[in-house]
Amino acid sequence: MASEMEFSVFLKGLQRIVGEQNVVYHSDDLLVFEYDGSIDRRVPEAVVFPSNTREVSEVISLAYSVGIPVVGRGTGTGLSGGSVAPPGGIQIAFPRMNNILEVDTDNQIALVEPGVINLHLDTRVRKDNLRYAPDPSSQKACSLGGNIAENSGGPHCLAYGTTTNHVLGMEVVLEDGSIVNLGSLARETIGYDLRGVFTGSEGTFGIATKIAVRLLPVPEAVRTFLGIFPNVESACTAVSAIIEHGIVPAALEMIDALTIQAVQNVSDAGYPDDAGAVLLIELEGLNDEIIEIGHEVEAALWDTGATQVRTAEAAEERQKLWAGRNGALGALGSVAPNYFLVDGVVPRTQLARVLGEVTKISNKYDIPIANVFHAGDGNLHPCLLFDERQAGMLERVMEAGTAVLQVCVDAGGTLTGEHGVGLEKKEQMPLVYSDEDMAAMVMVRDAFAPNNTLNPGKIFPDGVKSIPQSQPTFPGMPA
C-alpha cells in the first residue's frame, strides 16, 4: 500500500486523466462499492469512471507504474466476489462507457462498450428482429463487460451457449496499459483463440473496452410450459425424460418448494402453495416444429408425474410464467436477510441424488437451502439462507457451502457453471485441480498479466505458483 502522500499524488494523477468529478475516494462514498452479489466485501481505495479506451489505458498504466492493483467493476451483480477490490486496490467502473456503438443488421453483429446493460442490448436489437441470446437472471442490471469477465450464462444458454459462444472480438487493455485486439468481426479467425481464453478470465488478464457480439434472429414461435410436480425427484425425472426424447429446449429451469413459498410471499406467480417443484420449459423455433415438439414435452411432463401443466404462447402470458423464476432470488429476502449462492454443476442424471445430499447438508447445519437452477444442463444454484448478525453464522454457512461443492464434485461435476470462482470458491479449486493443473493456469495468466496486478487474489488458492520454466511438465519428458 502506498503511503498517504504517495496515494494523494496518485489520486491527482487519476483526476487529471478522467476529471476530478470522476474519481471517488472519500470513505463514505466508497461503501457502496465494497461488495457485489457475494458475501465477500472490501472497500476500494478509489473508484475511477473513465469515458473511453484511452482513459482506461492511462489509468491502468498509472496504477501499474506505482504498483497499485486494479479491478474492473461492472454493475456489481456478480456472485463470486469477482469485482471486490484487492487490498490497497482501486476499481475501474463503467457507467460512462455504456454506448451501443453499432448494430450491423446485415451481418448480425453489435459493437458495444463494457457498461452496456445486457437487457438494453437485447431490447435495442429486437427492433431489427434480432436478439442477444445470453440472458443471466440479472439481465436487467448486469453489464456486458461483467458478462465477459465471468462468461455468464442464463436460462436460454441451454440451447444457445454462454457468453463465450456469442463474443466475436474485443478491444482489451492489459495490465501495463497497452491496448490489444482479440478475435475479429469475422465468425472465424486464425491463430490462437485468445478471445475465448480471455472470456471467463475474471478480470485477471485485462479489461475489455469494446466488445463485438453476434446476434441471432428472433424465433418465429415461442411456447412456454409450466409443469407442477409433487416433489423434486419427479421433476428431475421429467428433465431426463425431455432430454432423452432428443429435445433440447431453449430453457429448462427448476424451482423447489422453499423458493416457491418465497416467490408466493412477495407476488402471486400462480404457483400452487403445495407444489414440491415446478419446471419451466421454453421451446423456440418454427411454428410447426414447436407445435410438434410441444406435444412431446407435455406428454413427458404428464408421464413423469406432473399434477398440472400450463402453456403460454403470447408474450404477456409467457412473461407471467417467468416472473416467479426471474424474481426468485429477490423473493428469498422474505425468508432470510442474507444468502450465499453456490454455483455447482453436476451431470443431469445426478440431479435428484445431489439435491437429496443438499437437503442432508441443510439439516446438518440447520440452514435453509432454496434451489432454483438451470436443470437442463445440471447447473445447480443451492441458495443458503441466513442472518449474518447471528454469531458464527457466516463461518457455518461457508462450511456448508463447501460441503455442497464437495457433493457436486463427487458426483462428477465441478465448482461453477457461470458465476466464476472469484474469492468465493478459490480455496475449493484443489477439489477439482491438482497443483500442476493450477500452476499451468497461472502460466497462462502470467502471459497476459505477468505482474498479477489485475484483480489479484482471485481464482487460485493463496500460495499457488506457476511451474518453473526448467521443470518438466509432462510424465516421461526428459529433465
Task: Output the tens digit of pLDDT for each of the chain's 479 residues.
Answer: 567 778 999 999 999 999 999 999 999 999 999 999 999 999 999 999 999 999 999 999 999 999 999 999 999 999 999 999 999 999 999 999 999 999 999 999 999 999 999 999 999 999 999 999 999 989 999 999 999 999 999 999 999 999 999 999 999 999 999 999 999 888 777 899 999 999 999 999 999 999 999 999 999 999 999 999 999 999 999 999 999 999 999 999 999 999 999 999 998 888 888 999 999 999 999 999 999 999 999 999 999 999 999 999 898 889 888 988 988 999 999 999 999 999 999 999 999 999 999 999 999 999 999 999 999 999 999 999 999 999 999 999 999 999 999 999 999 999 999 999 999 999 999 999 999 999 999 999 999 999 999 999 999 998 787 655 444 444 444 44
User: Look-up: residue for cell 492511462?
Assistant: 58
CATH 3.30.70.2740-classified regions of the chain: 336-426
Using DSSP's 3-state secondary structure scheme, residue 253 falls into: strand
CA gap 327, 337 in Å, rounded: 16
pLDDT of residue 467: 59
pLDDT of residue 188: 77
Q: Backbone phi, then psi, for 255, in 5-degree steps?
A: -130, 130
pLDDT of residue 476: 43
- CA contacts within 13 A on the Cβ side of 264: 14
Assign residue 452 a region (left: φ > 0; alpha: ψ between -120 and 50; beta: otherwise): left
pTM of the full structure:
0.93
In the chain, the N- to C-terminal Cα span, in Å, equals 40
CATH 3.30.43.10-classified regions of the chain: 4-93
Strands 46-48 and 90-93: parallel
Using DSSP's 3-state secondary structure scheme, residue 46 falls into: strand
CATH class of the structural domain 336-426: alpha beta
Q: What is the third-level CATH fold of 221-330? A: Alpha-Beta Plaits (3.30.70)
CATH class of the structural domain 100-217: alpha beta
H/E run at residue 372: strand 369-373
- β-partners of residue 277 are 229, 256
Q: What is the third-level CATH fold of 4-93? A: 3.30.43
User: Look-up: residue for cell 496486478?
Assistant: 453
CA dihedral 53, 56, 61, 67 (to 10 degrees): -160
User: Look-up: residue for cell 487460485?
Assistant: 460
CATH 3.30.70.3450-classified regions of the chain: 221-330
Q: Judge contact between 92 and 60, C-beta under 8 A.
A: yes
